[in-house]
Amino acid sequence: MPVQSLPQPLNHFQTFSVFYSRGGGFWVLRGDGTVPDPSEAWMPLRFEPVADGSSYLTPAGVGDTLQCQRPDQYWPHKLLPNIYHGPCTQNPNHGGLRGELSIFLALVAMSMDPTNLPQWLPWMYQGSRWHAHALDHGCMFDTLQSSPCNLSVADLTSGQHKLGVVVSVYTCPTTWAGGSTSQDLTNLENGVYGKYFN
């Protein structure tokens, strides 16, 4: 569901496109996958391990799975199919998630039916913290058998699959209460203000 109009002035921070392919997991493209930049390529979702025991979402990481996760964590089961789950840890300080904000928001969007997104996305972010929802999966982890080489713009945007999403993130004007800069969003991605999930 595209945003019809955005308040101004805003500065573009980043855009990523994400889709799910059965047998291939999530694929990520920097930019808008409906009008792809020829210099960009679809890459598998990856994770960069962080020294504090968390995982950083990125298409350029060295890990195929989360660095680790705790048995009490619900979010890995909502955002990611089992192929991305990492080894179990009992350390209460390990198993967090941070990373590219557009990729994170894409995973959140694909974790529920798109009609639930306007209501549940604000609910998931309360008190300056992210909370996992208990809704049914929107992206059924066993339905689509495409790869980025075979996926057309029509597949990414069609109502048939609804398994692809394009997420653009903008800074809020600093004149607004809670305004943000690109550095603020980079700090958010890096966990300076806390991880998306602990």
Q: What is the mean pLDDT of residues 141-146?
A: 43
Q: What is the mean pLDDT of residues 119-125?
A: 88
pLDDT (tens digit per residue) in 64-78: 999 999 999 989 988
Higher pLDDT, 77 or 10: 77
Q: What is the mean pLDDT of residues 170-175?
A: 80
d(CA 36, CA 181): 26
Q: 2 has which bridge partners?
A: none
Provide, for the chain, the percentages of residues in helix, strand and coil under a 3-state DSSP scheme, each rounded to the nearest 5.
20, 25, 55
Q: Which of 1-15, 33-47, 105-119 has the lowest mean pLDDT?
A: 1-15
d(CA 136, CA 113): 8
Give the residue carrying structure tokens 């994400």.
18
Helix (H) or strand (E) holding 57: strand 55-58
- Residue 13 pLDDT: 95
Per-residue pLDDT band at 150 (split at 50, 70, 90): very low
pLDDT (tens digit per residue) in 17-43: 999 887 788 999 999 999 999 999 999
Q: Which two tokens stand for residue 34?
A: 């409906």
**Is 9's pLDDT higher than 80?**
no
Q: What is the mean pLDDT of residues 5-14?
A: 78
d(CA 163, CA 138): 8
